[in-house]
Structure 1
């Protein structure tokens, strides 16, 4: 690959990673998705992701925190839903 095609390939991977981020994916999920749907070697995705993290450290720190908070909120909602469902099934007996 010559330099310009390498650069455009990396730019394409970069854009696809941004799409993964819009879908709230973590690095591993993104690597899997790009491998499956775009036939991109996970090592390439991982390398570009790491470079993006270096260049945008503050963004990725906030992004990771946000993902953790959303996962925690989702887990809490599931627990509450299960408790409510359990209570209502007991009351119907």
Structure 2
């Protein structure tokens, strides 16, 4: 049982790394692995927690990086909406003249 448990944990570890590549947080990873790989969220959360303990600096930087990306993405989203509204207003003005 020990080898199969270690292999399973290694698999979960690998899948968590894949989630990190896709910039997922722990909750998103838990949901993805539950739906896609039939891994119980408690297992994912436990392995993630152990990885955080072993790689504290990485996960701190990862969290900061995710927060910054989300902030930048939100700013870009708002700018695109402003541009769309502005372009729409210009087009409507031209159509009415």
Same fold flag (TM > 0.5): yes
Cα distance in 2 for residues equivalent to 1:7 and 1:85: 52
Tell me the SS of whatever aligns to 1:25.
coil
Determine whether 1:66 maps to 2:65. Answer: yes
* Other-structure match for 2:31: 32
Deviation (angstroms), 1:18: 0.3
Aligned length: 92
Unaligned runs of 5+ in 1: none
Q: TM-score, normalised by structure 2?
A: 0.91
* Other-structure match for 2:9: 10
Q: Deviations over 1:27-68 (max 9, x none)?
A: 011001111111101000000000000000000001011111
Cα distance in 2 for residues equivalent to 1:9 and 1:82: 45
Unaligned runs of 5+ in 2: none
Q: TM-score, normalised by structure 1?
A: 0.95
Segments ≥4 residues shifted beyond 3 Å: none
Root-mean-square deviation (Å) = 0.8
Q: Which has the larger radius of gyration?
A: 2
